[in-house]
Each structure stands twice: as structure tokens, then as C-alpha cells.
Structure 1
């Protein structure tokens, strides 16, 4: 199940270009998000590790990007992790993938969430994240490139959007992404309403499982997901190098 969820999550957050080098997947999306711009190994790490690392590095540097590796706990990545650490790669964002089995029954909860268009959702997301720059065209391209069924939603308080998120449904699995609440409106149940609304949408569409990715250090988010019934199913973390070729 772990590998299936990871494969589905990669499809749910697509890159613009993917290269498969002997089972190592290199993904590229103009540098926007580590998930879409890193090397993922879905099976056992295998042999010829140094050759594979060097080849992957060359591909990222050719695109003027830092080489990034996403290490999955279920692939026994200890040797690869050690090799990358020796080369000077920094450990970034240890994270969890959490999952919940969905019932065919209704949740019997009807949070009032709103469906948004991609463009309107991006504006709301950008505002809630309190970012100064305009919404990223690359972010827009990634979302527009999702081939699975997708739902952009928001939660409003006094006609103002205070939270938003995305549901991506693929092969009966519902992924929840880009969940954000206004910093001034947290701990009021808005994120819960977004998740419950997306879960109900997924159940209505025939989903049997939902997953969500969360940085382990984000304790409030982890506690919220556990309260809603999500449980850890595997871990992942990133090793980030430089694009200068100076790793040892």
C-alpha cells in the first residue's frame, strides 16, 4: 500500500518532465516545490549507487537546479542516505504520509465549503499564505496539469475566505494538498471543515482511502490529522545538494 500511495501522490502533483534512470525517477518543474523537483526511488535502492547519484546530479545541474533526493522509509534508503550525507547533502523536512480508510457511508457532517475555480483558488491561497509576490505561474501550471479529478475548495467566514485546500482523486485514493488557514483564523475548526468537506466529496466519488503529507515538525497539523482518524503509513525526507558540483 505504501508504494501505491506514493505512486498516486506523484501523479497527483505532476512534474513537467520525468526521467527514469534505472528505476530512479528524476522530476523537474522549474524548481517549484521539492516534491516535483527531486529524485524518487520507489523500489529498493539497488546497486551502482554512486553512478546513479552522479547521473542524477548532472541532470539537475544541466537545468540549473539543486539536486534533491526524496528518500522513502519503505525502500530501505539507509545506504543512499549515508552516501548523500557524505557528499554534503543537507537533511531537509522529515515528513509523514498519513492515511485513513474511508467508509462508504456519509460522514453525516455537512461543512459549508465552497468550490473555487483554479484561478480564484490560487489568489486565495496566495493571500492566506501572506506571500508578497504574485501567484506563481509554475504553481498554476502544476495544478492545471493534474490529470486526475480535482476539487479546489475554500471556507468562508463573513464572506471572507479564511481557509482553502485541494482534493485530488486518483484510483480510489483521495489526496489532500495545499491546505492553508489564515494565520489570524487558526484553531477555529476551518481546516477541519475543509478536510471533512473533501472527504465527503471523495466518499461520494467512490474513494476508499485518503492520504495527506505533513512535515513531522508541524505538531498542530499532525495532531489535527490524527484527531480526524489519519494514521502514519510511512515517512520521507529530502537530501538537498548544491548545483555547483562541490559535494564531496
Structure 2
């Protein structure tokens, strides 16, 4: 069995399915996504073909209008698949660069699920309560999470790891095209360095293997040193980088 990892386009397309927008519109290989503002990734525009750059300036305007109509701030997600002409157009218009991030991936092998890991539907009140507690979500943000997870159509699970009856780690795992994509990964900030994140993630990998996944991918902010250490320790390897572009401040 080959252990080669999926390429950039395969990871990106899996990510679009595993973490979708509530509303999506394709313009050639440019995809617009809106999800009520919950996460930049699900509320952004990106391109999956570096050769699809014709009329980039007009398409940027059209995409921005589409997002504004949906009450979402215009955001472009720039991966290695973005055409140079798109970045140049944004540069000329004074767009800022924010949110430097990495994509990590690995081939899946056999992992042990923690006995205290629960695999719940994404709408399960116990999963939502764990996410709200660990991420300190207010009611509006929790509703945003619920709205987005309702749009996930691929095999997915919410994971909650408990200790002494308390939720101490949680994540979403969704499988698309054989790749399990992790999102909303969180550990109790008062119980770091206890192996809880690793136990929770390995539990998710065990679930994903049972569901037929052969690879795993995750997005992580460049400055999140704790997450980078966790993912490296689990066996993930850096694949590529991306960032976001937002309109510059008015002069």
C-alpha cells in the first residue's frame, strides 16, 4: 500500500468538503463561501487552479459583492494554488495580509482510541456543550458553529474526551476523499501537557481508520506553538502554507 500523501489540490478539495460554507458559488476554479462569519476559512474566496487568472480584477470585485450581500466581510484565502495575478490584483488594491497558517498532513496508521473518548453527532448537545465550555463561546458563536456543522455532508463526528466526568478535549473530524480533516481542536487550558490532546486526536484517527480514511490533514495558525508541537508529535508533517487577504483600511 502506498504511503504517499495527497497533493495540495487533493487536500484543499477535501478541506472544502469537510469544512464547507453554508452557501457556495463557483466561478471557474474560484470558489466563494459564506457561513455567517463563523471562521475565515468557511467565509472566504479561494482559487484551486494557478492558471485560472483571466479577468482577476473583475472577479475580485464580483466575489466581494457576493460576500457583502451575504453580510460577510470580503476575505481571500491564498494557497499555493492561487494565481499570481490574484495576489497582484489584491496588492494593487492595498489589501492586507493576515492569518499566516500551515497545512500539515500524514498517512494514517493504526491508533488506539481512549476509553473515555466519546464519538457524537455534530448536533449532539454534549458535543456542543464541550465545545462551548472549552472554547468559551457565547450563544451567538455557538449558533454559528451549529449552522456550519449542519452543512457538513461528509462522514463526520464530534469527539469529546472526558476525565472525571468533565470534558477536557474536543474536536471535529470529517472525512472527504479518504482524508480526515480535523477542526475546532481544543484542550482545557488548565490541563495542558497531560497528553489529553494527543489522546483525543488518536481517538479520532482510530474512528477515521474504521471509516476508511487513509490520510489526515489539519490547518494550524503559524503562531500556535502548542498546536504545532501536538501535530508534529502525532506524526503530521508540514505540507504548505497559506494566508488570508482582507481589504486595507480606508485612507
Distance 2:82 2:157 in 1: 34
Match of 1:122 among 106, 115, 128: 128
Q: Secondary structure at the match of 2:40?
A: coil
The structural deviation recorded for 1:129 is: 1.0
| Equivalences for residues 178-197 of structure 1 within 5 A | 178-197=184-203
In the alignment, what sits opposite 2:22? 16
In the alignment, what sits opposite 1:54? 61
The structural deviation recorded for 1:76 is: 5.2
Match of 1:224 among 217, 221, 230: 230
- 8 Å contact from structure 2 (residues 36, 71) kept in 1: no
| Equivalences for residues 65-214 of structure 1 within 5 A | 65-73=72-80, 75=81, 77-103=83-109, 106-107=110-111, 109-112=112-115, 113-117=117-121, 118=123, 119-133=125-139, 136-214=142-220
Q: Secondary structure at the match of 2:37?
A: coil
- 8 Å contact from structure 1 (residues 89, 240) kept in 2: yes
Distance 1:138 1:82 in 2: 33
Q: Secondary structure at the match of 1:15?
A: coil
TM-score by length of 2: 0.89
The structural deviation recorded for 1:137 is: 2.1
In the alignment, what sits opposite 1:63? 70
The structural deviation recorded for 1:115 is: 2.1
Q: Root-mean-square deviation (CA), in Å?
A: 1.9
**Residue 46 of structure 2 is aligned to residue 40 of structure 1:** yes
The structural deviation recorded for 1:120 is: 1.9
The structural deviation recorded for 1:241 is: 2.1
The structural deviation recorded for 1:28 is: 1.2
**Residue 40 of structure 2 is aligned to residue 30 of structure 1:** no
Q: How many residues align?
A: 241
Distance 1:56 1:67 in 2: 8
Distance 2:177 2:68 in 1: 35
TM-score by length of 1: 0.90
- 8 Å contact from structure 1 (residues 94, 235) kept in 2: yes
Over 3 Å counting, the alpha-carbon distance change for 1:135 and 1:67 in structure 2 is: closer
The structural deviation recorded for 1:19 is: 1.4
- 8 Å contact from structure 2 (residues 131, 170) kept in 1: yes
Deviation track 1:157-178 (CA, whole Å, cap 9, x = no partner) reads: 1110111111111221111111
- Residue ranges of structure 2 left out of the alignment (5+ in a row): 1-6
Deviation track 1:114-140 (CA, whole Å, cap 9, x = no partner) reads: 123423211110111123445532311
Over 3 Å counting, the alpha-carbon distance change for 1:159 and 1:237 in structure 2 is: same
- 8 Å contact from structure 2 (residues 158, 173) kept in 1: yes
- Residue ranges of structure 1 left out of the alignment (5+ in a row): none
Distance 2:186 2:135 in 1: 7
